[in-house]
Amino acid sequence: MKLLLPDHLAETLRDSICRIAPECEIVPITAEGEVQGDLGDAEVIFLRWGIGRETFQRLIDHIPNLRWVHTISAGVDHVLFPELTKSDITLTNASGVFSVPIAETVLTYMLAVVKRLPEFFDQQRARRWHKLGLRELHGLTAGILGLGAIGTEVARLCRAFGMHVLGLRRHPHPSQHADEVLPPNRLHDLLARSDFVVIALPLTKQTQGLIGRAELAAMKPDGWLINIARGPIVDEGALIEALQEHRIGGACLDVFAEEPLPEDSPLWNLPNVIITPHNSWSSPYLQRREAELFLENLRRYVAGEPLLNVVDKRAGY
């Protein structure tokens, strides 16, 4: 069995892979998507982060016998193209791998807001001693758009802080970590009731631009928007206007319409914005979690068992 693996993982995983698939042959993929050797009989790609859609499409054009693609990311918007969507190739993602660090980042944002940490940091730099009135997360409402692995972990942590949790998902069956789960047609209801709105959705045709002027207007005047999903889910121009005019409390943003965020973006200078550079996923444990997931799926693949995290390619997640 021939497999294509990220070059930074190829040697690390070689022994484990070959124990699962004794006839294995591993071909490294560079960060630029370059590979060497004959790919005609390759069956599996473990796709590294940073390889764009066009590069990935060119790559698989040379792999006629490809049967399974596993992405190193949870989101798959960057690899889905019509030919792959229509094909019989199985696509799996890294759902669950990033849940802990991203959910912890979301709670860090929330705590920074209610405990006014940015203002205290400014005072520290100015050597100013001035007490501020603070709030508690306990009793506030978190509205979470998307209750996948990340959204569910965010909900669990919010409940641990005594928050009321509203969830929104396409099929609104109950969640043990949410007080209420609402269908998509009640988005504005969720927005109006939430002190923090957390976007934890995949980027699809249905979610692109989901949060626009009307949705921002539906939020509480002191509500905060948190986006750790994908930038294009939010109309960034409408968000900037709402922030500049103080129609919402603020925004904590890890993702943007254009990344890196341009230096001339008004978001940089707004006092009611917290910016992180698409960094919420970072953790020293990611490589281990990624490897464990891929190896378990490889075992299932070799044994003919159902794979974990199979993506509905037409739905986009």
Q: Would you please indicate which residues are annotated as catalytic (active-site) residues? A: 230, 259, 278
Q: What is the DSSP string of 88-156?
A: S-EEE--TTTSHHHHHHHHHHHHHHHHTTHHHHHHHHHTT---------STT-EEEEE--SHHHHHHHH
What is the layout of strands, in order, in the sheet containing 25-29?
25-29, 2-6, 42-47, 68-71, 90-92
Which residue matches tokens 């409390």?
249
Q: How far is CA 66 from CA 33, 225, 292, in A?
A: 16, 41, 22
45: three-class secondary structure by DSSP: strand
Q: Is the dihedral of CA 104, 105, 108, 114 positive or negative?
A: negative
**How would DSSP label each residue in 222-280?**
T-EEEE-S-GGGB-HHHHHHHHHTTSSSEEEES--SSSSPPTT-GGGG-TTEEE--S-T
DSSP state of 310: B
Q: What is the CA radius of gyration of the chain?
A: 21
In terms of C-beta density within 10 A (0-12 exposed, 13-18 middle, 19 or more buried), how is residue 40 classed? exposed
